[in-house]
Amino acid sequence: MNNIDSINHVTGKSVYLDDILIQKGTLHAVVFGSSIAHGKITHLDISKAEELLGVEKILTYKDVTGQNQIGGIIEDEPLFAEHEVHFQGQPIALIVAKDEHTARKAITLIDIKFEEFEVVIDPRIAKEKGLLLIPPRTFRIGDIKNAWSKCDYISEGRVDSGGQEHLYIETQGAYAYPIDNGSIKIHSSTQGPTAVQKTASKVLGIPMNRIEVDVARLGGGFGGKEDQASGFAAMAALASYILQRPVKLSLHRLDDMKMTGKRHPYSSDYKIGLSKDLKIIAFQTTLYQNGGAAADLSPAIMERTLFHSTNAYYIPNTEVTTYSCKTNLPPNTAFRGFGAPQGMFVIESAIARAANELGIPTRTIQEKNFLTENDEFQYGQIAKSVNIGNCFSTASRLFNIEKIDNDIKKFNQENSLLKKGMAIMPICFGISFTNTSMNQARALVHIYQDGSIGISTGAIEMGQGVNTKMAQVAAKVFSINIKRIKLESTNTSRVANTSPTAASSGADLNGNAVLIACNELLKRLKESAAKILECSIDEIKLQDEQVLKNGQVTELSWEKLIIKSYLSRICLSENGHYATPIIHFDKSKEKGHPFAYHVYGTAIVTITLDCLRGTYEVDNVQIVHDFGNSINPTIDKGQIEGAVVQGIGWMTMEEISFNKDGRLLSNSLSTYKVPDIYSAPKAIECHALETVGPELAILKSKAVGEPPFMYGIGAFFAIQNAIETFNPNYKLDFDAPLTPEKVLMRLYEKNV
């Protein structure tokens, strides 16, 4: 079944933030950000800018009516810089004018001077200087100290992975206006409406019930609008509150790229030890997370790195430590995978180098160390329904890995300037917010008198199809045509205290809340039908828009049942509440059972490298993925393909670069490249592993948003594999992304 929005999408009728019909008198805002990455504001004069015809007001921290604070996990980020700035692009003021053009012009009239301070962009340097966002954390299992002596082979190294710009095609934005009762309504392009509500409430200094946040849909989010939408929404709300006028703030792409955080770059050291028979006995790693200038979601992301630093392997002695380092970059934030890709890249690099040093294929080590049933993760959870071995062996058999190997060998012998390379990327990804309290959701289901249904939840639709899945759930429970169901905008007045749509868990949490609400309504409807048909409730069944009694069609259609129930004063609305059972985690011990279940899969990635020019193409990504029992294979396949290409982008062409002064150089779409249609793999084949699916997934259909992103990591190793074939002098190094520049330099690297 296709996304329920697709017809509106292809006709251009879907409404995004900037498409909302604006009210008369709407003002437009532009953010004035710092031009330097670190320093003190010694002089700020906005008077000339404020005098410009058409400028209504310029807001600075002095105008904040509540607290000048937007930090979510830690209160360490001002809405507007007060005396110091900590990253280039940090908001200092908001220019509110009759139109965007005027506001932009006013920026040029702002007079500002800084005293510049030392800029730190390297997380290792930050760590040395003691610049940490939070104290470091360590996960441990086994006895790492004594494990090394048991290893026959030990290998060490350094691994670096770069940042990644979300590049949602719709930029950040918000539209706020005053409504009755001194309240403010905010339309925001956010994944976290409650975060927006909370932040605006704090900044404006009014209770949460005076702020209504509404989200129709996003033109992409990928994590970038989980936390970072809140600041911009709070700015629009503050301006609207102070001026009592509607205010729109829709970021220009250049401002969006400059002002918002990205995927965290990580730099890591590791040590890995293996036995003679290639079992990984010990793994120790220290990861330096480049957090940027404020905590944002970095603590939670760092936590997921700790959880996933051993990927799909069982390693009896593991010690992983992460430092969340404070640097002068924009506060880095959530991005599909949430710290897991960075962690997995380290263990995969460690295995690749060990294999290279031992002169064996990487997959020999991978295969020997996969998790098996009842293995213990370093965080104490016992692995259940483990499918990694199954995914790997199915992929090897189905896609005939021996033949792929042989074909590549043959190709490489026959071609001197083109070389093919291959890599295998296994994944294991835990589902649930690692912060247990966030694993809750509510759904408000109304059945209207005419039999149509409106569903409100806390989930945000951003292309991932969560609304479609929830409509499917309701349609299934009532056994009615899905066309009767409408998913409402996500609104904090209808569904309160929502968790952000993130951690791949949107459909699980909200879908289960919908399921609970619908089941309750179904019970009532059955009771009502039983009364009308004068039988017992057990004899009633709803099927294909009809009420069946003992399996026989009755005169009660869905519509008749609804109107009759309404007339008998039966409540046709229900609020479902879901909280994931079982999960818990004890931070003082760093042990627990944080995940409802894990998603497994394996990808075989093959590439062709042009060794003359240093350019490459991905030939094929062949996947065996554990979907559980997918309720929507079409949508899930779309998630796989999209995530794979995004993952490949992260590992190949997507290169964020800052100069030493902390100025973003890759600051536009002409300098920051994401995959286009020609850089997508020639083929992506995805086979669904046959499994039952876990009880805790919505209708046993596993979460699918993030896990396949990590298949893209295979592209790095496949390209590296081809470089090795061409240049025997190349000494493996692990510094992603592997851009055409890095590739060419490595192809012609000489042994030193």
Partner 1 sequence: MQTMISFILNNQLIKTDKPSGGSLLDFIRYDSNLPGTKIGCREGDCGACTVMEGSLNDEKISYKSIVSCLTPLGNAHGKHIVTIEGIKMECLSPIQNSFVANAATQCGFCTPGFIMSLTAHSLANEKSTKQKAIASVSGNICRCTGYKSIERAAEDISKLLEDKNINNPIEWLIEKRYLPDYFLSIPKRLNEIKENQQIANPNDVIIGGGTDLMVQKADELVESSINLFQDRKDLKGIKVENGRCIIGAATTASEIEQSSIIKEIIPEISSCFKLISSEPIRNMGTIAGNIVNASPIGDLSIIFLALNAEINLGPRILPLKDFFLGYKKINLQKDEFVKEIAFAIPTKPTLFNFEKVSKRTHLDIASVNSAIHLIVNGEKISSCSLSAGGVSPIPLFLYKTSDFLKGKAISSELIIQANEVMQGEISPIGDMRGSVDYKRLLLRQLFFAHFIKLFPNKVLASDLLSNSDMR
Mind telling me the catalytic residues?
706
Q: What is the closest distance, in whole angstroms, from the C-beta atom of residue 735 to partner 1 in the complex?
A: 14
Residue 169 CB, shortest distance to ligand FES, in Å, is: 4
Closest by alpha carbon to 144, among 267, 271, 268? 271
Whether 191 contacts 460, CB under 8 Å: yes
All residues at 6 or more sequence positions from 20 whose CB lies less than 8 Å from its CB, including other chains:
175, 187
Query: 6 touches which of partner 1, ligand FES, none (CB within 5 to 8 A by kind)?
Result: partner 1
Q: How far is CA 260 from the centre of its chain?
A: 15
The contact mask relative to partner 1 for 659-698 (x = CB under 8 A, - = no) is ------xx-xxxx-xxxxxxxxx--x--------------
Q: How many residues bind ligand FES (CB under 6 A)?
A: 3
Q: Which residues 487-526 are close enough to bind partner 1 by CB under 8 A?
A: none
The residues in 11-30 that bind partner 1, with binding defined as CB under 8 A, are 11-16, 18-19
Between helix 506-533 and helix 466-478 the angle, nearest 10°, is 20
CB of 473 to ligand FES, least distance (A): 23
Instruction: Burial-class residue 215 by CB neighbours within 10 Å (0-12, 13-18, 19+).
Output: buried
Query: What's the rounded Cα separation, in Å, for the pair 624 and 267?
Result: 30
**Nearest distance from residue 611's CB to partner 1, in Å?**
8
Shorter beta-carbon distance to partner 1: residue 104 or 524: 104
Judged by CB under 6 A, the chain residues 212 through 251 that form the site for ligand FES are: 220
Q: Give the nearest distance from C-beta 174 to partner 1 in angstroms.
A: 16
Could you say which residues in the range 404-463 bind partner 1, by CB under 8 A? 416-417, 462-463
Taking the CB of residue 454, how many other CB atoms lie within 10 A of it? 15
> Cβ closer to partner 1: 220 or 458?
220
169 binds ligand FES (CB under 6 A): yes
Which among ligand FES, partner 1, none contacts residue 588 (Cβ within 5 to 8 A by kind)? Answer: none
Between 218 and 533, CB nearer to ligand FES: 218
Backbone phi, psi, residue 251, to 5°: -70, 135
Stretch that binds partner 1, among 31-39, 148-156, 506-514, 637-645 (CB under 8 A): 637-645
For residues 251 and 275, is the Cβ–Cβ distance under 8 A?
no
Of 76, 66, 79, 17, nearest in space to 235 by CA? 79
CB of 239: closest distance to partner 1 in angstroms? 20
46 closest CA partner among 80, 79, 69, 78: 80
User: Minimum Å distance from CB 7 to partner 1?
Assistant: 6
Among 424, 298, 449, which residue's Cα sits nearest to residue 352?
A: 424
How many other β-carbons are positioned within 10 Å of the β-carbon of residue 599? 25
- Other C-beta atoms lying within 10 Å of the C-beta of residue 578: 21
Q: Three-state SS across 126-185?
A: HHHCCCECCCCEEEEECCHHHHHHHCCEEEEEEEEECCECCCCCCCCEEEEEEEHHHEEE
Nearer to ligand FES, 218 or 422 (CB): 218
Which of 327, 231, 246, 318 lies closest to 280, judged by CA?
318
Going by C-alpha positions, the residue among 685, 578, 580, 691 that lies closest to residue 630 is: 691
Shortest distance (Å) from residue 619 CB to partner 1: 14
Stretch that binds partner 1, among 211-219, 434-442, 545-553, 690-698 (CB under 8 A): 211-219
User: Which of the stretches 5-13, 90-98, 311-319, 578-586 binds partner 1 when contact is defined by CB under 8 A?
Assistant: 5-13
Of 645, 698, 699, 703, which one interacts with partner 1 (CB under 8 A)? 645
363 binds partner 1 (CB under 8 A): no
Contact status: 463 vs ligand FES (CB under 6 A): yes
Single residue of 160, 170, 574, 619 touching partner 1 by CB under 8 A: 170
**Cβ nearer to partner 1, comparing 198 with 336:** 336
Give 94's strand partners: 31, 59
Check: CB of residue 690 under 8 Å from CB of residue 317: no
Binding to partner 1 by residue 646, rule CB under 8 A? yes
Task: Residue 154: name its binding partner from partner 1, ligand FES, none (Cβ under 5 to 8 Å by kind).
Answer: none
Fill in the DSSP letter of residue 383: P
In the complex, the smallest distance separating the C-beta of residue 459 from ligand FES, rounded to whole angstroms, is 17
b/e per residue, 625-634, with b = 16+ CB within 10 A? bbbbebbbee
Interacting partner of 465 out of partner 1, ligand FES, none (Cβ under 5 to 8 A depending on kind)? partner 1
Stretch that binds partner 1, among 162-170, 393-401, 451-459, 527-535 (CB under 8 A): 162-170
Nearer to ligand FES, 451 or 465 (CB): 465
- 252, interface contact from partner 1, ligand FES, none, CB < 5-8 Å by kind: partner 1
Total residues interacting with partner 1, rule: CB under 8 A: 79
Note the helical H segments in 436-552. Answer: 466-478, 506-533
Residue 389 or 740 having the CB closest to partner 1: 740
Nearer to partner 1 by Cβ, of 143 and 676: the residue is: 676
Rounded to whole angstroms, the Cα distance separating 301 from 296 reads 10
For the record, the structure tokens of 378 come out as: 């370093």
Give a three-class secondary structure readout of 503-522.
Answer: CCCHHHHHHHHHHHHHHHHH
Query: What is the pattern of x (binds partner 1, CB under 8 A) and - over residues 597-636?
Result: ---------------xxxx------------------xx-
Interaction site with ligand FES (CB under 6 A) = 169, 220, 463
